[in-house]
Amino acid sequence: MSITVLAGRVSSAGKDKFVDLDVSGWAWVGLLGAIAVLLLFDILVLHRVPKVLPLKRAAIEWIGWTAIGLAFTFVVIASWGRDAGVEYLSGYLIEQSLSIDNVFVWALILGTFAVPVQFQHRVLFWGIFGALVLRAAFILAGVALIEKFDWVLFVFGGFLVYTGVKLALSGEDDEEFTPEKSRFLRILRRVVPSTPDYDGQKLFVQRNGKRLATPLLAVLVLVESTDVVFAVDSVPAVLGVSREQFIVFSSNAFAIMGLRALYFLLADMRARFSYLQQGLAVILGFVGVKMVISRWVHIETWVSLMVIVLVLAMSVLTSMRRTRHPGALDTIESVPGGAEPALGLPPEES
């Protein structure tokens, strides 16, 4: 039975309804080692030399990262069973879908600061590295809170429902995120002496005997601060389909590692996915309600997975149908503030 009505109070905030894995220390070492190897291969082999990432290359890299993330589902199934695999895949898809907005904000930041295209991948690499550390902290704290205080489920669930409603009702004319108004950036400029000029991929330079930060440091700080904001939504959402720290972290990690390639594919194509925002709102609302009612009604994780897949598929297909109409593509947005689009890519380079 996919939906179970519970007569009594669920112990441990309902963790008995999710998989409870016996994850050895070696499994964590293997996971972190695999992540480290993949990141090193990316930065030391694939992107050792700064260059513009053409669309075809970005598509191939994104497919590769996605294949790795999906393949890890079978590793989880082989190690801990089908239910664990379903929880991982659900968390992976949630994180992938909610991270798309992150990509568009990156485009705004990089475009506003006019970061040279050939250096964008490097700053996003360090942004992803920092995001992995921040997500680990969020996940550990979130699981610990749920296990100790079961009422936190109502807080997380209510917040997700509120965020979903807000996202569904927001329009194109709503106020946009403005990098220049970021509190993090204002604090950084007060405490760190900076130069207005870029110097390749360097975050710091020596000028007249002084160590100065380049604009790339400010960009990196903004990228990290926006990930904190998005993690507030995405981590509770993934905790709605799994409470196992290994599954939640691995699904987050493999999803966000492919965001750099996805950025080069989607950053200038937001208008092509005009109904994706509504789809994300439905997903957030569904997961939020699922968390709120989990004390009395248990919705199987495979049902959640089906809902997530169907909503995403309908959002993308509906958006694609809309862009087929004449004039639909004329609405594709450029970066606000008079800056050039972040991804004005020249013809393909090898």
Query: What is the Cα–Cα distance from 35 to 257, expressed in whole angstroms?
Result: 9
The residue whose two tokens read 């309902």 is 14
Q: Between residues 309 and 268, which one has the greater pLDDT?
A: 309
Q: In this structure, is residue 134 part of a structural domain? A: yes
- Structural domains in the chain (count): 1
Query: What does the pLDDT look like over 65-113, one tens digit per residue?
Result: 999 999 999 999 999 999 999 999 999 988 888 777 677 778 777 777 7
Q: In this structure, is residue 264 part of a structural domain? A: yes
> Backbone phi, then psi, for 92, in 5-degree steps?
-65, -45
Structure tokens at 291: 């968390």
Q: In this structure, is residue 269 part of a structural domain? A: yes
**Domain that includes residue 116, residue range:** 61-324
Query: What is the Cα–Cα distance from 137 to 160, expressed in whole angstroms?
Result: 19
Q: In this structure, is residue 345 part of a structural domain? A: no
Structure tokens at 7: 């007569």
Q: In this structure, is residue 350 part of a structural domain? A: no
Predicted TM-score (pTM) of this structure: 0.71
**Which amino acid makes up residue 113?**
F
Q: In this structure, is residue 292 part of a structural domain? A: yes
Q: In this structure, is residue 198 part of a structural domain? A: yes
Each as own residue / partner, the long-range contacts of residues 64-70 (CB below 8 Å, 24 or more positions apart, any chain) are: 64/261, 65/254, 65/257, 65/258, 65/261, 66/258, 68/38, 68/254, 68/258, 69/96, 69/254, 69/255, 69/257, 69/258
The answer to whether 87 and 247 have CB atoms below 8 angstroms apart is yes
* pLDDT above 90: residue 64: yes
Q: In this structure, is residue 73 part of a structural domain? A: yes
Query: What does the pLDDT look like over 288-346, one tens digit per residue?
Result: 787 777 677 767 767 777 887 788 788 878 877 776 654 544 444 444 333 444 444 44
Q: In this structure, is the dihedral angle defined by the CA atoms of residues 222, 205, 349 and 41, taken in order, positive or negative?
A: negative
Compute the average pLDDT of residues 247-253. 93
* Average confidence score pLDDT of the chain: 75
> Backbone phi, then psi, for 298, in 5-degree steps?
-105, 120
Query: What does the pLDDT look like over 109-168, one tens digit per residue?
Result: 777 777 888 888 888 888 888 888 888 888 888 877 777 776 776 777 777 777 778 777
